[in-house]
Structure 1
Amino acid sequence: MTIEKIDTLVVGAGQSGIAMSEHLKDCGVPHIVLERNRVAEQWRTGRWDSLVANGPAWHDRFPNLEFDDVSPDTFPPKDRMARYFEDYANMIDAPIRTGVEVKRVQRNEGRPGFLVTTSEGLIEAQRVVAATGPFQVPQYPNIVPADAGIEQLHSSAYKNPGQLPEGAVLVVGGGASGSQIAEELQRAGRKVYLSIGEHYRPPRSYRARDYVWWLGVLGKWDEIKTIAKKKHVAFAVSGYDGGKTVDFRLLAERGVTVLGMTSGYRDGILNINNDLADNIAEGDRAYLEVLREADAYVERNGIDLPAEPEAWEIAPNPDCIANPILELDLARAGITTIIWATGFKFDFSWLDVDAFHEDGTPFHKRGISSERGIYFLGLPELTNRASSFIYGCWYDAKYIATHIVVQRNYAAYERE
């Protein structure tokens, strides 16, 4: 059997795989990129119809290509984002092979490198970069049984309001996906319940600057602090409807019934934690902290940005927050659908190597794994807060490419 040989194999042709390919090419590293679907498939089919980028076009891109038909401060729709990455891959002439699934990666015995089993045959690679991103397998809490008579789907399977059966909808999850889907359904005339837990709720913009700009100048992309921020907390910021601050009080005023965290189910009754007020207050704390830091930055640096006193105004709690529902009778509420906007979990079952903690999460430092020759790219907090975002993964890829070059030099060394 013929086995193809390559120095570096990149798995995945989304933003991370394309960024990796650019830097490998610039460093002169022979490589190929395998993608089981199409380039940027998650942007094409992995989300709802009205999805837009979560950052403005001037920021949510790679450094070497701007959007040619989208104004810098707009939030590009998902189809435009998919085309952006396709255009970028063509621009750098990335060696991408689509429709090829990687089924197994295992270390060679008695010689360096890895044997990669794919749907199109075997490949031997000296290095493998897992660039499959953070959105791999939808994550559902095991709360409402499948036979409860309720339509249940993950947010990645939601497309638009017309897809759902008639009736009220419960959206579980207070991050960007849950808040946007809840608002879209409410605007479509649905009765909506939104269950939220702990969340980080920054302003979408403040003093004429988008939050991604404040993240940069305030050092929040890097998050170098003596007290680390909480991990696995929903990030409630939205590019929906032109970009705006997520405001659960405003959603409630518009008719969305906001609930605390969903915690249990029995005989048609959903149990809700009595944590809504605390969750809202914690979101407010994060929001106001950004405003304070932004004001201090403006004053300290003498920057002429317009004041925005109205941003400091916090509306009173509407009734569903002041008097939270702790038990929700799904039938009485008319709920026929539950959308779980509860994130994703990793699936590296195809990587048969010693590069993981006992819980299955990658064991790495800045993407360099404990298994020499295996790399990870595009994961949350890989290097910092920006790592799973478009611009962040590009810089992480540059670091990994540099490490690969160093390792190639070691391998090529011969004593004279």
Structure 2
Amino acid sequence: MTQNEKNIPVIIVGGGQAGLSMSWYLCRENVEHIIFEAKTACHSWDDERWDNFCLVTPNWQCELPGHPYKGKDPHGFMVKEEIIEYVKGFVNSFNPPLREHTAVSSVTRHEKGGYRVIANGEVWHAEHVVIASGAYHDAVVPGYASAIDSSVFQLHSQDYRNASQLPEGAVLVVGSGQSGAQIVEDLFLENRKVHLCVGSAPRVSRFYRGRDVVDWLADMQFYDLTVDNHPLRDGARDKTNHYVTGRNGGHDLDLRLFAKEGVGLHGTLETIRDDVAYFLPDLKVNLDDADKTNADIKKSIDAYIAREGIEAPVEAPYEPVWLPDGRNAPLDLMAAGITSIIWCIGFRPNYRWIDVPVFNGGNKPVWRRGVTDAPGFYFLGLPWLHTWGSGRFSGVSRDAAWLAGQITGKDVSVA
């Protein structure tokens, strides 16, 4: 044993909503533990979201353990400041053993059993370790970005705050997932000329037949569907989230409507060479596929309404408001007046600091409901860890209760 090594039954790595939820259950079960958080409990909501960010799921789905949403607008969408207040309120509700500004640099197996964890230079020994640091660690930016003319300002979506931080001129947004589509709208509302590289992200309507689509899907028990029962099985974890927004009460994000109103739409970005952007010829396919996903969701709601005999207003099928002309012309950044690029193409997980045999050949962690083959080693808060809500406010409590049961060896009820 290393000299001055400290012992504790459970270490949680990550003090976000997942790690805090784990702590809540361990506190309730009187299990001694500690949370190591490299920054602060609310840092991702404060430091990695744009100013006009808001939830895309209704407030009633915010169900952290012992801390459900109690505001006046359960069917609304909390904005950035309200989200931060909600998370801080959760922290204050039970005073977790949280060490902020404490980065974990290494997790290895301990020769006495359990795990050795090094945090801010201190050495700890724990029988159980819960990795709750998320999956969004390293921002993805393509290698060719470094060859783009230095006069073009570049940043990743996690660093975007508002239009005023960008130089005057047009903006190229790369990626049409949740962040990309919402940032396009944010820029468009500030009267910026925007070009969007449209990828394969699906879309969903905000409201359908008189209700938020989320309400319908909840009634249909979609959010109780486990990854084991999902048609894609583990492949569900690799699917891009549907784009939609909760801004100003919530509405659809229709990329075709953006195009009709002046946003330049292009296919998937293939490369940028000599300051000219080249695209795959997939714009029509990507738009059509996104619309098909939305239509399929509506059809499933229609079937549920009919099956249950529910009275609900009928809506006409969606009709595209804009169609691409089939051209796939390259885009000269300088000629188009593009002075900024925002990369909205996601993140890669970074688990290089974990030396425990819980990863597959693709360096992805392997678990079943967060439990790995390494005794006492767990993951929490990842997308589709167990259900759709596993990486969100709506489902992390259930997952944390389950893992608390694995640690304590008894059934732990969900708060």
TM over 0.5: yes
Specify the alignment match of 1:396 in structure 2.
399
Query: For residues 271 and 100 of structure 1, what CA distance do their matches in structure 2 show?
Result: 43
Map 1:259-270 onto structure 2 (within 5 A).
259-270=266-277
Specify the alignment match of 1:282 in structure 2.
289
What displacement does 1:147 show? 4.4
Question: Quick check: 1:97 aligned with 2:99?
Answer: yes
For the residue of structure 2 that corresponds to 1:103, the secondary structure is: strand
Query: For residues 226 and 184 of structure 1, what CA distance do their matches in structure 2 show?
Result: 34
Query: For residues 11 and 141 of structure 1, what CA distance do their matches in structure 2 show?
Result: 29
Map 1:75-154 onto structure 2 (within 5 A).
75-109=77-111, 111-119=112-120, 121-149=122-150, 150-154=152-156
Question: Quick check: 1:354 aligned with 2:357?
Answer: yes
Query: For residues 187 and 327 of structure 2, what CA distance do their matches in structure 1 show?
Result: 21
Query: For residues 193 and 389 of structure 2, what CA distance do their matches in structure 1 show?
Result: 35
Query: For residues 11 and 199 of structure 2, what CA distance do their matches in structure 1 show?
Result: 39
Match of 1:335 among 329, 335, 338: 338
**Is contact 2:269–2:279 with CA below 8 Å preserved after alignment?**
yes
Query: For residues 324 and 389 of structure 1, what CA distance do their matches in structure 2 show?
Result: 39
Using a 3 Å threshold, how does the CA distance of structure 1 residues 72 and 407 change in structure 2: closer, same or farther?
closer
Unaligned runs of 5+ in 1: 409-416
**Is contact 1:14–1:40 with CA below 8 Å preserved after alignment?**
yes
Cα offsets for 1:31-84 (capped at 9, x unmatched)? 111111111210011111111112111113325323344411111112211221
Aligned residues: 403
**Is contact 1:200–1:236 with CA below 8 Å preserved after alignment?**
yes
Specify the alignment match of 2:390 in structure 1.
387
Specify the alignment match of 2:14 in structure 1.
12
Cα offsets for 1:64-118 (capped at 9, x unmatched)? 3233444111111122112211111221222111111111111111x11111111
Specify the alignment match of 2:315 in structure 1.
309
For the residue of structure 1 that corresponds to 2:388, the secondary structure is: coil
Map 1:14-29 onto structure 2 (within 5 A).
14-29=16-31
Specify the alignment match of 1:370 in structure 2.
373
Using a 3 Å threshold, how does the CA distance of structure 1 residues 131 and 256 change in structure 2: closer, same or farther?
same
For the residue of structure 1 that corresponds to 2:62, the secondary structure is: coil
Specify the alignment match of 2:211 in structure 1.
209
Specify the alignment match of 2:278 in structure 1.
271
Letter in 1 for 2:99: R
For the residue of structure 1 that corresponds to 2:128, the secondary structure is: strand
Cα offsets for 1:137-177 (capped at 9, x unmatched)? 21123343344232211100111100011111000111111
What displacement does 1:225 show? 4.6
What displacement does 1:276 show? 0.7
**Is contact 1:276–1:324 with CA below 8 Å preserved after alignment?**
no
RMSD: 2.0
Match of 1:300 among 296, 307, 317: 307
Q: Which deviates more, 286-295 or 377-386? A: 377-386
Query: For residues 43 and 348 of structure 1, what CA distance do their matches in structure 2 show?
Result: 21
Query: For residues 126 and 407 of structure 1, what CA distance do their matches in structure 2 show?
Result: 17
For the residue of structure 1 that corresponds to 2:335, the secondary structure is: coil
Unaligned runs of 5+ in 2: none
Query: For residues 174 and 70 of structure 1, what CA distance do their matches in structure 2 show?
Result: 32
Specify the alignment match of 1:411 in structure 2.
none
Using a 3 Å threshold, how does the CA distance of structure 1 residues 373 and 309 change in structure 2: closer, same or farther?
same
Match of 2:256 among 240, 243, 249: 249
Query: For residues 284 and 179 of structure 2, what CA distance do their matches in structure 1 show?
Result: 21
For the residue of structure 2 that corresponds to 1:7, the secondary structure is: strand
What displacement does 1:394 show? 1.5
**Is contact 1:70–1:76 with CA below 8 Å preserved after alignment?**
no
For the residue of structure 2 that corresponds to 1:390, the secondary structure is: coil
Q: Which deviates more, 21-30 or 215-224? A: 215-224
Query: For residues 37 and 264 of structure 1, what CA distance do their matches in structure 2 show?
Result: 35
Letter in 2 for 1:118: A
Query: For residues 79 and 132 of structure 1, what CA distance do their matches in structure 2 show?
Result: 22
Letter in 1 for 2:123: L
Question: Quick check: 1:73 aligned with 2:79?
Answer: no
Query: For residues 295 and 72 of structure 1, what CA distance do their matches in structure 2 show?
Result: 24
Normalised by the length of structure 2, the TM-score is 0.92
**Is contact 1:134–1:388 with CA below 8 Å preserved after alignment?**
no
What displacement does 1:357 show? 1.5
Letter in 2 for 1:3: E
Query: For residues 352 and 345 of structure 1, what CA distance do their matches in structure 2 show?
Result: 18
Specify the alignment match of 1:414 in structure 2.
none
Using a 3 Å threshold, how does the CA distance of structure 1 residues 66 and 275 change in structure 2: closer, same or farther?
same
What displacement does 1:407 show? 9.1
Letter in 2 for 1:307: P
Query: For residues 230 and 301 of structure 2, what CA distance do their matches in structure 1 show?
Result: 17
Query: For residues 326 and 365 of structure 1, what CA distance do their matches in structure 2 show?
Result: 46
